[in-house]
């Protein structure tokens, strides 16, 4: 009896273990071999080939990189794409002014001619990927120094990329996986004419703002709509009025059926960066050095921005995107630290490392790894103070916008003084002229003066005097280290606080005027910070970075060797991945239960006219009162807004398609729950949840609120 019970328990355990597949960001090329069976066991009704096929159109042809850091999906044969509101935010802001405030009021193109161009914005489609490890490591052997090895690899990669592109219009990039143990070649098609089609008002697209950011329960209608345009041959082209909507190989069909607890679901997108396999020393540095510094500095800066934004509508528009970006990282790091401390992750890693070390001594294969932790330890010990200095330099020293801006004149100065510079300075001047207009559009000198006083004083207090640029100490001493007085005077004296002064300089520029820049006090500071970095931080950090990279490569290889039959997924590296799991509620804290979906009722409950983040759109309220949800209502009669699932996601997954068991689109990924933001380092199935905008809420807003129902006619629905 006992034995049977034991086996039953074991069987159950194994069964549970194989269906409980929440952790992992898997490589689409290996889905058939590594994941398909498990995905189907969890409820998936399609095949790996339907998701990612080498030979025929598949879902992958409808997933794109949006701009530099988000994902989007193609939902029509006319190149229409959906991504998050926060991914389109910078673009929506760029089209906004007090007269046309698309951030506040939303924007909808009612026909193709009203769609707005976005210079510089690209959409990237994966054509194919291929394992090129053999070719990348050709001629590389274990006796090589890290530097020589690196050069050999770089050379090989260059050749592979050149070969792959040939004379096609494609772009190629080779990317390292498993910390340099495997390499893949990606062939991409990059579209350059991407137009804004629509965005809801921020009271919907950013509902809850930074108050709710990273949190569940959530009610954000976080979407925006764009369209890919191509040349008449359907290939990428620069913006032109002759361009036509792109005809994709594949598009996503949209399910209106909604989700239930336990449903299988997957996310298909471009997660940016995770660190699942780093040693305890790295986690310790993150939690105890890097995060606390970043959090402290940004808290100060955010306070200043927010006070100014609350008082002035122009400043609110000017600083909206900057503030959102700062606040996003700030809040994530706070959540990450809490999660890691709660899970005792440093201690857990230490005991895993003890196990690994035992293996290195007990197994004939373990020998090359025996010194790993000793070396990791000394590398991280040396790295920690440098990382701290670098964070203070970057976040506080370069925290005032004006210092960064003045610093951007460094190349002009260098070219002007270079006897071989010729007339290169003219090009640089016209680049700076463009930048200057851009910069001042979103700059307020009074706000930045406060930031200057506060952040430079934080920098000065937290960094040892001998590790600070001398020019900072010299200048601040003239004001008895009173940084407010320092800021007040320097903002009056510098040319970089006034657009007219900078434009005048550039308009009448000639190389002998570089002295005027060099004499400027803010430029001197910028140069001081930069030189300090170059002289005292850069080389040593690069050396240690390389050292740590090579140790990490070895450690990764060792981990894979140790657990022969284990299944590994590589850390995120901004390449296409699949995460899968289930729609599932969770317990965020003792005795607290969070259900798996939210509804419009929740928006009405949160409404608070005194809190900017909780203002509710009037038209939305009307639709709510009339319960006018049409075919977008859930079967329970309410309007579902968001839901959560156990898929393992990270930054970059924003805007990713969230699909159901049949491969139909059910939502847009846009966030993670705060209790689970440590999942970049350690995934906890109990508390890690991705947050998804229910596609039906998105369609409801487009159709009923924006009156842009014509867009829905391009889409295919599964009812
Ligand atoms: N936390 C989400 C992400 O990392 C959303 C950020 C944008 N929203 C905001 N309120 N700042 O991108
Ligand atoms: N909001 C994130 C993004 O921009 C996704 C949330 C996350 O980090 O998981 O990609």
CATH number at residue 709: 2.40.10
DSSP H or E run through 640: strand 640-645
640 and 594 in one domain? yes
Residue 477: the pLDDT is 97
310 and 228 in one domain? no
Residue 565: the pLDDT is 75
* Model pLDDT for residues 707-716, shown as the tens digit of each residue: 999 999 999 9
228 and 301 in one domain? no
Q: 481 φ, ψ to 5°?
A: 60, 20
> Is position 502 within any domain?
yes
671 alpha carbon – ligand 1 mean position (Å)? 7
325 alpha carbon – ligand 1 mean position (Å)? 8
692 and 585 in one domain? yes
**pTM of this prediction?**
0.91
> Is position 48 within any domain?
no
Beta strands (DSSP E) in 431-556 are none
Residue 222 annotated in active site: yes
525 and 402 in one domain? yes
Residues within a 6 A CB radius of ligand 1? 86, 206, 209-210, 213-214, 324, 327-328, 651, 654, 671
63 alpha carbon – ligand 1 mean position (Å)? 21
Strand partners, 227: 80, 195
287 and 198 in one domain? no
292 and 412 in one domain? yes
Residue 18: the pLDDT is 37
202 and 160 in one domain? yes
> Which ligand minimizes its atom distance to the CA of 213?
1
656 alpha carbon – ligand 2 mean position (Å)? 10
Three-class SS state of 4: helix
Residue 198 predicted with pLDDT over 90: yes
* Model pLDDT for residues 552-580, shown as the tens digit of each residue: 999 999 999 998 778 899 999 999 999 99
Measuring CA to CA, which residue among 114, 71, 47, 96 is closest to residue 202?
96
* Model pLDDT for residues 580-638, shown as the tens digit of each residue: 999 999 999 999 999 999 999 999 999 998 888 999 999 999 999 999 999 999 999 99
Range in 20-34, 62-76, 248-262, 695-709 with the lowest mean pLDDT? 20-34
Query: Would you state the structure tokens that stand for residue 230, as one six-digit string?
Result: 């191509």
653 alpha carbon – ligand 2 mean position (Å)? 6
Query: Would you state the structure tokens that stand for residue 242, as one six-digit string?
Result: 């002759």
* Model pLDDT for residues 35-56, shown as the tens digit of each residue: 999 999 999 999 999 999 999 9
* Model pLDDT for residues 180-190, shown as the tens digit of each residue: 999 999 999 99
296 and 170 in one domain? no
> Is position 172 within any domain?
yes
Residue 423 has a CB neighbour count (10 Å cut-off) of: 9
> Is position 140 within any domain?
yes
596 and 492 in one domain? no
> Is position 701 within any domain?
yes
Where does residue 104 rank: exposed (0-12), middle (13-18), buried (19+ CB within 10 A)?
middle
> Is position 133 within any domain?
yes
- In terms of phi and psi (left: phi > 0; alpha: psi -120 to 50; beta: otherwise), the region of 56 is beta
Q: How far is CA 703 from CA 196, 623, 707, in A?
A: 17, 12, 5
Which of 484, 519, 554 is the last residue in one of the domains?
A: 554
Q: How far is CA 553 from CA 135, 146, 472, 677, in A?
A: 18, 11, 40, 25
627 and 485 in one domain? no
Residue 609: the pLDDT is 85
Residue 168 annotated in active site: no
Residue 14 predicted with pLDDT over 50: no
Q: Given ligand 1 and candidates 83, 103, 213, 672, which is best to mutate, with the most ligand atoms within 8 Å of its CB? A: 213
Residue 145 annotated in active site: no
Residue 1 predicted with pLDDT over 50: no
Residue 17: the pLDDT is 35
For residue 326, what are the domain limits?
280-554
Residue 79: the pLDDT is 98
Domain count, the chain: 3
> Is position 15 within any domain?
no
For the segment 373-381, the average pLDDT, to the nearest whole number, is 98
* Model pLDDT for residues 342-363, shown as the tens digit of each residue: 999 999 999 999 999 999 999 9
pLDDT cut 70: percent of the chain above it: 97
Query: Would you state the structure tokens that stand for residue 205, as one six-digit string?
Result: 């697209």
Range in 242-251, 288-297, 416-425, 638-647 with the lowest mean pLDDT? 416-425
Spot the catalytic one: 22, 222, 263, 671: 222
Q: 173 φ, ψ to 5°?
A: -145, 140
Beta strands (DSSP E) in 403-483 are none
For the segment 319-336, the average pLDDT, to the nearest whole number, is 94
Averaged confidence pLDDT in the chain: 95
Residue 15: the pLDDT is 36
| Minimal-distance CA residue to ligand 1 atom 11 | 324
Spot the catalytic one: 85, 86, 179, 648: 86
> Is position 366 within any domain?
yes
| Confidence class for position 380, pLDDT limits 50, 70, 90 | very high
Residue 147: the pLDDT is 87
Q: Given ligand 1 and candidates 328, 612, 679, which is best to mutate, with the most ligand atoms within 8 Å of its CB? A: 328
327 and 439 in one domain? yes
> Which ligand minimizes its atom distance to the CA of 320?
1
* Model pLDDT for residues 261-320, shown as the tens digit of each residue: 999 999 999 999 999 999 999 999 999 999 999 999 999 999 999 999 999 999 998 998
């Amino acid at each position: 009896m006992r034995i049977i019970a034991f086996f039953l328990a074991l069987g159950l355990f194994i069964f549970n273990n194989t269906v409980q597949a929440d952790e992992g960001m898997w490589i689409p090329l290996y889905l058939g071999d590594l994941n398909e069976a498990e995905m189907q066991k969890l409820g998936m009704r399609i095949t790996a080939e339907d998701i990612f096929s080498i030979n025929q159109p598949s879902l992958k042809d409808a997933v794109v990189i949006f701009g530099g850091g988000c994902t989007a999906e193609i939902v029509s044969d006319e190149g229409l794409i959906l991504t998050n509101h926060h991914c389109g935010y910078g673009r929506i802001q760029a089209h906004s002014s007090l007269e046309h405030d698309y951030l506040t009021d939303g924007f909808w193109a009612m026909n193709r001619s009203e769609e707005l161009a976005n210079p510089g914005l690209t959409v990237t489609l994966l054509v194919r990927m291929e394992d090129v490890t053999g070719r990348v490591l050709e001629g590389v052997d274990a006796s090589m120094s890290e530097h020589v090895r690196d050069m050999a690899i770089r050379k090989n990669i260059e050749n592979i990329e050149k070969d792959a592109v040939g004379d096609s219009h494609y772009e190629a990039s080779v990317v390292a996986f498993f910390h340099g143990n495997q390499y893949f070649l990606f062939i991409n098609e990059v579209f350059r004419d991407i137009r804004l089609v629509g965005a809801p008002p921020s009271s919907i697209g950013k509902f809850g703002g930074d108050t709710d950011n990273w949190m569940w329960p959530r009610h954000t209608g976080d979407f925006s709509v764009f369209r890919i345009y191509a040349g008449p041959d359907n290939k990428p082209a620069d913006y032109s009025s002759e361009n036509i909507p792109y005809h994709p190989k594949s598009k996503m069909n949209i399910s209106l059926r909604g989700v239930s607890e336990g449903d299988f679901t997957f996310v298909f997108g471009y997660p940016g960066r995770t660190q699942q396999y780093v040693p305890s020393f790295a986690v310790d540095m993150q939690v105890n050095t890097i995060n606390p510094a970043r959090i402290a500095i940004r808290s100060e800066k955010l306070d200043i921005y927010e006070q100014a934004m609350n008082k002035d509508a122009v400043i609110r528009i000017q600083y909206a995107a900057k503030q959102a970006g700062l606040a996003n990282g700030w809040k994530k790091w706070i959540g990450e630290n809490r999660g890691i401390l709660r899970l005792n992750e440093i201690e857990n890693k230490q005991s895993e490392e003890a196990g690994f070390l035992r293996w290195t001594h007990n197994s004939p294969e373990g020998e090359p790894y025996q010194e790993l932790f000793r070396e990791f330890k000394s590398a991280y010990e040396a790295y920690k103070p440098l990382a701290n200095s670098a964070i203070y330099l970057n976040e506080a020293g370069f925290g005032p916008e004006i210092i960064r801006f003045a610093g951007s004149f460094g190349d002009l100065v260098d070219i002007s003084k270079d006897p071989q510079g010729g007339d290169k300075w003219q090009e640089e001047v016209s680049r700076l002229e463009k930048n200057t207009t851009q910069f001042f559009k979103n700059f307020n000198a009074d706000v930045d003066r406060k930031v200057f006083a506060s952040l430079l004083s934080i920098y000065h207090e937290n960094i040892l005097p001998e590790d600070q640029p001398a020019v900072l100490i010299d200048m601040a001493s003239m004001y008895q280290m009173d940084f407010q007085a320092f800021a007040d005077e320097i903002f009056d004296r510098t040319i970089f606080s006034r657009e007219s002064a900078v434009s005048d300089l550039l308009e009448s520029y000639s190389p002998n005027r570089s002295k005027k820049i060099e004499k400027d006090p803010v430029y001197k500071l910028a140069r001081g910070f930069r030189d300090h970095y170059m002289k005292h931080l850069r080389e040593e950090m690069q050396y240690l970075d390389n050292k740590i990279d090579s140790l990490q490569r070895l450690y990764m290889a060792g981990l894979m060797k140790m657990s022969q039959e284990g299944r590994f997924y590589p850390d995120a590296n901004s390449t296409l991945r699949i995460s899968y799991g289930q729609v599932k509620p969770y317990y965020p804290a003792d005795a607290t239960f969070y259900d798996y979906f939210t509804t419009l009722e929740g928006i009405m409950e949160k409404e608070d006219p005194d809190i900017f983040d909780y203002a509710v759109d009037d038209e939305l309220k009307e639709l709510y009162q009339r319960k006018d949800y049409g075919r977008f209502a859930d079967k329970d009669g309410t309007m579902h807004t968001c839901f959560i699932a156990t898929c393992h996601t990270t930054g970059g997954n924003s805007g990713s398609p969230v699909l159901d068991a049949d491969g139909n689109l059910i939502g847009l990924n846009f966030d993670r729950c705060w209790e689970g933001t440590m999942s970049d380092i350690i995934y906890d199935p109990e508390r890690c949840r991705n947050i998804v905008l229910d596609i039906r809420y998105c369609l409801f807003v487009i159709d009923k609120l924006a009156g842009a129902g014509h867009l829905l006619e391009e889409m295919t629905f599964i009812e």
